[in-house]
Structure 1
Amino acid sequence: MIVLAAVGVLAVLLGGYAILAVTLGGSVPRGTSVGGVDVSGLSRDQAGQRLRDRLVPRADESFRVSVRGKTYSLKPAEAGLGLDVPATVDAVYVPRSLNPVEVSKALRGGGEVAPVLTVDHTKLFAAVGRLAKEVRKNGSPGGITFAGGTAKAADPVVGYRLDIAAASGRIEQEFLRTNAPIELPVAEQKPKVDQAEVRRAMREFATPAMSGPVRVRVNGKSFEVTPAEVGAALTMVPDGAGRLTPRLDAAAFERAVADRLKIVQIEPKDASVRMFAGRPAVVPSTQGQTVPPASLARAVLAALPKSGAERVATVRTKPADAKFTTKAAQDLGVKQVVGEFTTYYPHAAYRNTNIGQAGRLIDNRLIKPGETFSLNGILGERTEANGFAKGFVIVGGRLREELGGGVSQVATTTYNAAFFAGMEDVEHRPHAFYIDRYPVGREATVYWGYLDLKWRNNTPYGVLVQAVNKQSSPGTKGSITVRLWSTKYWTVKGQTSARHNFREPKVIFDEKKGCVPQDGVRGFDVDVVRKLYRGSTLEKTETDHVRYSPEDRVTCGPAPTPTPTPTPKPKPNSKPPAAGN
């Protein structure tokens, strides 16, 4: 009987459990919400529809994030975020089941359930990375400046940056779960030098350092350095422990006091190669006695924290060798003429002035192996202050007066000397039209600003330029000779073709002020070939095609009035001609 009664009780309990499971299952438990959207008691389909109606629109709208109290907006699509409705419904829905876990879930109620998201982590990290660039604030360590000879403290600034990985995780965790801005974590960047260290450095070094001048003593002589001159080269640099340490830039400080160092030291002199008695000779270098920049900086730095008469920096000079020594000059092998050319020019006072000045400026110029000779670089702009006078130049195929007219005579002469010495032609330009006192095809013009004569020393020896000018006089031509002295390296053979492709000049009448008459010369083409040998071996062949424009015939004045052709009178009894068809 007892057994039968127990079985009956169990059957009743099981039946009641089954009824409870069936009654509670097949819907969302009571009290369930997702992202603030109530889905209690809804079927699977009803819950899905409510989420699509109420939560999906929010998942498409911009959401807010907060960084250190400032709010920013992000777009879910750009951040790779979306709502997975089916998965979210699965998370809240309880099916009809005898499973105790499901029954227990239905009895407890759902509460607030986190929405299930679709997340493209690449897009999310990229969006947070863009935000990180926007919100980042760079910190700065404390420091001290000395501009104008005054010590000034710079307070340290704490910086911060967005922690991209942690911020992305926070967004993924909080998206659609709150309407408030999502607070994103940042990492602070504390300055290496704190405020206490800045105050200490100001007190112990910076303020005393700028308190007055420092007297520098060198071998019994002395000069003063002002706080402004020291401050321009002085900095305070943090060490590994964040302690500010003074540093005086030796090179910058040497430049600041260079005028006074000249008085207390003897600069070394480089060797040179110059013409003496018609031949090149080496002028030996001389040793100097100079103040080492590093020693000067250390001595001044040590005097800066001191006061009054103790602010003295004592240093001694040391022997200093020249950068270009006597042996280096001798090793250049400047001993024989390797290229020489002479051109002649008709008398004109401006030619004597300008050709003479250009010759003086290039004379004794030493071009070391690999260096480039630049005529414009040596002469500079042709101005009266630079020793040049007004003369005729060719611009746009026409003659006109400008400062430096005639300098192309030196350019042509130098070009030919370099041509036969085998120097590398870097830049040269023939005249617009042919001038008969120059070798056809082998000539060069220069113009400040855009036309230059350049050649490179392509030998292992030095090249010394010698220029000898013989001035013209009324009825006597002048001449300019350029010689290049070195050690013979190239054997050069040149050849010029016959003139061809002739072009006739135009006739121009010009009434404008400043007109210069021209006789007119035919234009033509010519080819110049240069062959460079090392011994008997041909190393290189160069061809320069030169095209000369015609020199137009220019008459300064109005064009002549053409003489009208008289109209013949008709003969008596003559008939007019018949009209043509």
Structure 2
Amino acid sequence: MASRRGRVAGIVAAVVAVPVLAYAVPAIALAGDVPRGTRVDGVDIGGLPVADARAKLERGLSQRAARPLALSVAGKTVRLAPSDLGLTFDTQATVEAALNGASTPSAIARSLFGGTRDLRPQVAVDERRLTAKLADLARRVDAKPREGSIRYRGLEPQVILPKPGRALDRAGAAGAVREAYLNDRGSVALKVRTSPPAGSASEVKRVADALARTAVAAPLTLVNGSKKAELPTAGLATGLRFVADGQGRMTPLFDARGVLAGLDDKLVAAGQRPKDASFKIVNGKPQVTSARVGRGIDAKALNKAVSAALAAGQRSVRVPVTETQPRVSTAQAKKLGIKEKVSSFTTRHPCCAPRVTNIHRIADIVDGYVVRPGETFSLNGIVGKRDKARGFVEAPMILNNRFVNDVGGGVSQFATTMFNAVFFGGFEDVQHMAHQYYISRYPAGRESTVSFPQPDFRWRNDSPYGVLIKASYTSTSITVQFWSTKRFDIDSQSSARYDVKPITTLTESGPECIAMGGAEGFTIDVWRIFKQDGKVQRKQKFRTVYAAEPRLTCK
């Protein structure tokens, strides 16, 4: 019996040993090699030792691993190298993944009897670099929601509709970039999240059609004690806009900076107003005149008062007044380097026409003004809207291709005279616009028109010294002088007139018709030549195009 049990045990052992040996022998033989039939993205590394498998992967996938990725988002496409995104092909990790499970029965079976195993390339990610690059892309794509607003063109409300914002889905973008790398995808579409504005387009349109029109339908009365002044509709529209309040409504927001000029004169007694330090010319030398602290309109408080009045439908505002420092103190004036005349220009005109009154009035306002280093001088900003309350009168000006009468007409002659003082003083021209038609009393191509609120005449004191403006006049001329420290000698050169346009002849009727003498249109180039010690430092070119002025007869 015992002998029989031994034979049975031997048979069982033999039966078990056969498959064990069938598995163990190949496993031992294949130890250290990638299992046969293993492919990585089409590259067959089966049966290769680890070092050979890595080398083959680098050869087979290196070109694809270096290929730039095209990231597309919000209509923009950016091509970036994988290294910029912190992505690299990790051959070591890929081979280790291929070896993982190499000694399993299924792997041994594939090696002995055939079959394939497809693996994806392993990718190493520098998370900090990927995050930083996506943040850089987000800065180019992200946009906050734009709330609606209303501005004015003339007295007509101009609507800017609200617009949703957007933000790059950075987490989703990081996953999409990792997924696309080494996966035969040349471009990656990244997603954005949208964020709605607080206000609706319908609310903006409603306010534009109602409150925005009412706000500029009539002047606003400004009151300081017994003194009153009107803020005209054009001035209101210049400084007014309607903005979203963050809760879905639109509210008026007024900025008085563009209309403050001249209001102090009307609303604050002359003896109370601050006085800037300036200069008087004594024996050809500038001497400082002292500044004075005074009372003036509190611009920030006025902005709030006007905004609140318009929101409530009121047409009268009590003007807030506060202690006001002079714009230029006595101590500052003494350090400005104003010591000599650096430019002067004179233009002439016939005596005694209404426009001459306006030229003299604007000269009186500007005379003695000091422009500090780096400051931009705005003629409209200093003088403000021309009105009868400050001594301006009606006179002809060009509007819509015709001469018309308007309060302040003729002041462009002052702007032209000052432009030439700027030109020959060597200061920076910021904004000037020539007349539509050539006017023979001005130098062709060296002149400027002005109206309120536009076009303005602006120039910048780009010197390290202050500039004193002195304006004087006779019954037939206006002169503007600049006093500072001389930097340049300026020459002017002009081209011949070209692209000449002929005069047309017209006849019109009506009580407001003003005859026009007619003048050819043309184009001309003018060069401003900067010199120091007789040597040319640089040249600046001005090109001016004049339309042909019609010869207009009034019936």
Q: TM-score, normalised by structure 1?
A: 0.44
Q: TM-score, normalised by structure 2?
A: 0.46
